[in-house]
A and B are shown apart, each in its own frame.
Chain A
Amino acid sequence: MAEPAKEIVVDPGLDETIKKLTPKKIEDTINKVLTKGAAARLKVYMQTCVHCGLCSEACHFYLSHDKDPRFSPVGKVKQTLWEIVKRKGRVDGEFIKNCSRIAHTECNVCRRCSMYCPFGIDMAYLLLLVRRICALLGVVPQYLQDTVNSHAVTMNQMWVKQDEWIDTLQWQEEDAQDEVKNARIPLDKEGAEIMYSVIGPEPKFLAQLLGNISIIMTVAGMDWTMPSFDGWDNSNMPMYSGDFETMARVERKHFEAAFKLKVKKIVMGECGHAFRGAVYDGPKWLAWKEPPVPLIHAVQFYYELIRDGKIKIARKFEQPVTIQEPCNIIRGRGLGDMLRYIMRATCEDFRDVSPRYEHNYCCCAGGGVINCGPPWKKNRVEGNRVKAEQLKATGAEVVITPCHNCHSGIEDIVNYYKLGMHVKFFSEILVDVMEIPEELKV
C-alpha cells in the first residue's frame, strides 16, 4: 500500500539527541531494558500475539486516520518493539527517533486496546517499554522532557517555586473569601482529615480551581489541608516519558507529604494521569501493592459530598452538558457511575455519550501526548476526529472533563473541529449550582 508522506515535525528532543547515540549504546540500553526491566510479560505477550489485528478498532488514532494500519495498536508495536526484538537491539538513531514519535506522540497508553485483544495483551505496557528505551537513550520530545526536568528539580511539573506556590494559595484564599465567608486554604495543618493535592498547572495557570476547592471545602465543612512544601504536586510526567526513577521520586514525595501532615486520606484534584500515577504505576514501581495512604479522586469526593448531603444543590445547571470520561479514572478505576451521579445531581440536561464507560474514546491528550507540546499539536487533534464526532453527536453545549489532560485536549478539538462547545471542570459547575448556607454568605 502506498503510504502518504507524513508531515515532518521538527523536535530537537528527537532530532538532536539521536546524533549523540552510538550503535553500542543503543544495543546495550535495549538489551538492558528487555532482559532486566521486562521479563515475563514482554516474552509471553510476544509469543501470544497471533497478529490478528482485532485490537485495531479500539484505537482513536486508527479510527481518526481512516483506518490507517500504521496507527493500530498492534501496528505501532510492530513498527517499534517487534523490530527491536527481531534485530536484537541493533537499530540506528533514526529508528529510535521513529520509536519515540510512535510511542510518545501517537499512543496515549489509554489501554482501550487491551479490552479488544482476545488475549488481554497490554499494548500500552509494550509501548511504555518503548518509551522507557527512548528515555534511557535521552530521546524524548523536548517539551515533555522539560516537564520531566522540572519534576526532577522542583518536584512539580511547572517549575513553580515554593514562594510562588504559597503566594498563589493565599491569593486564591482571598478570592474565595469574596464568595464565601471564612473560606480558607489551611496550609500544613497536622492531623487534618484530608490532604488535597493538585497538579502543577493549577497554580501556574488555572489558579481559580484552587479558589473553587476552597469554597467547596468550606461549605462542606471539611477538615482539610494542603502542604506548603514539596509533595503538593501529584502530577507525574516522568511516568509517561519513561523516566521511572524520577516517577518514583515524585510519587514518594507526594505520599511523604501526607505522612508528614499525618492526614487520614488524600483527595486528588480533577486529573486522571495524576491519579493513575498515585494509585497504580507509582506504587507498582515502588513495590507497594496499594497506595500507602488512602487516596480518592475528586469525582469520588464530590460524589460522596453530594450523596451525604454535605453539599446541597440550589439550582441545576441549565445548558445541555455532556462528559469526557478520563481513561485513568473510568477504565482505570471504575468511577463511571459516580461521575454520572454527580452530573445528574447538578445538571438539568445531561446528554450521555456513546461509546461510554470503559469503552469511551480517549481524549488523545493524556499519556503525556499533550505534553509533547506545540510541534505535535496538529498530529494530536487530527488523531482524535472520532472524539469530536462523538461529542458533536450529543448536541451538548458544555463538556465536563474531570481531568486536566482531557480538558486541554478537548478544548483543542473543540476549536479545531469548530464544535462550538465550552469545556469545564466539574468544580466550576459545582460552585455555580451549590447552596451557600446563610451564615457563610458574604
Chain B
Amino acid sequence: MYEFVSGPLVWISFIVFIGGSLYRLCSMHKLAKKEKVIYPYMSLKYGLRSIIHWVIPFASTNMRRRPLMTVTTFAFHICLVLTPIFLLSHNILWYQSWKISWWTLPEGTADIMTVIVILAAFFFLARRLVLPEVRFVTFASDYALLIIALAPFLTGFLAYHQWLPYKTILILHILSGELMLIVIPFTRLSHMLYFVFTRAYMGSEFGAVRNSKDW
C-alpha cells in the first residue's frame, strides 16, 4: 500500500495536477479569444496594479474592514503553499528519488505553519456555519473542499508527532495530499489558477476603461 501511494500514485497526481491545470488554462484562453472583448481590454499595467493591490495584506478597503479575515486568509494561503514545498521531510523524498534538494524550513517553524493552516481551516468552517451571508451561499461541496485542503495538514501534523498509528496516518497523509493535487484543476480550488486572470481583467477594466481603482 505504502509503495503504491508513494510511488505510482504520486506520478499520477502530479500529472493530473499539472496536465489538468494546463488544460484548464488553455481552454480558458480559447474561450477568452471567442469572447472577443477580453484580450483587447487587457492591460499589463493596470492588471498588475490590481494584482499587487490584492496580494498585499490590508491594501484594499474590504481587507481593512475585516482584519481578522484578512490576517487569517493570508496566513492560511501562505502557509498552505510554502509548507509542503519547503518541508524537510518532503525535501528528503525529492532527494532520495531525484537527487535534488533545496532550502528547507526549520522543523519547528514548519510545525507552527501547519498548525496555522489547521486553525485557519476551522476558522473558515466556523464562518460558513455562523455568518448568515456565508451560510446562504454554502454548498456541501464547500465543506468538502475545505476538508480536502485541511486533510493533508491535519494528517501531516499527526504523522510528524506520531500520535496515532504512524503507518496508517502516513498513508492517509500521502493520499490526501494527492487527492488535493488532483482536484485543484477541476474544482473551485482552481481559484489558485484563475486568481491572477480574473484580477487582471477587472483591474484592466477599472484602470484602462473606467479610470478608477478596484480596491
Contact = CB atoms under 8 A, between A and B. Distances in A.
Contacts of A45: 198
Name which of B138, B195, B211 has the most chain A CB atoms within 10 A of its CB. B211
B36 interface: yes
A331 B28 CA distance: 28
Name which of A1, A39, A284, A334 has the most chain B CB atoms within 10 A of its CB. A39
B43 to A, nearest CB: 12
Contact of B211 (A1, A53, A69, A334): A334
A116 B62 contact: yes
A138 interface: no
A115 B198 contact: no
A426 B61 CA distance: 30
Contacts of A122: 202, 205
Interface string B20-59: 0000000010011011111011000000001000100000
A78 B202 contact: no
Nearest to A287: B36
Contacts of A115: 60-62, 206, 213-215
Given A50-B191, A119-B191, A70 B136 contact: yes
Contacts of B205: 122
A47 B194 contact: yes
Given A69-B133, A120-B198, A54 B62 contact: yes
Interface string A76-97: 0010000000000000000000
Contacts of B138: 51
A343 B110 CA distance: 57
A1 B130 CA distance: 12
Interface residues of A, number: 48
Contact of A40 (B38, B202, B211): B38
Contacts of B133: 53, 56, 62, 67, 69, 72, 74-75
Nearest to B51: A120
Nearest to B145: A50
B212 A333 contact: yes
B86 interface: no
Interface of A: 1, 38-41, 43-45, 47-54, 56-58, 62, 67, 69-70, 72, 74-75, 78, 114-116, 118-122, 280, 284, 287, 289, 330-334, 336, 357-359
Given A44-B31, A58-B62, A114-B214, 17 more contacts: A40-B31, A40-B34, A47-B194, A50-B188, A51-B139, A53-B131, A53-B133, A56-B133, A57-B65, A69-B133, A74-B133, A78-B136, A120-B199, A120-B203, A280-B210, A284-B37, A333-B210
12 contacts: A39-B32, A40-B32, A44-B197, A47-B188, A47-B191, A48-B188, A56-B133, A74-B133, A115-B60, A120-B54, A120-B202, A334-B212
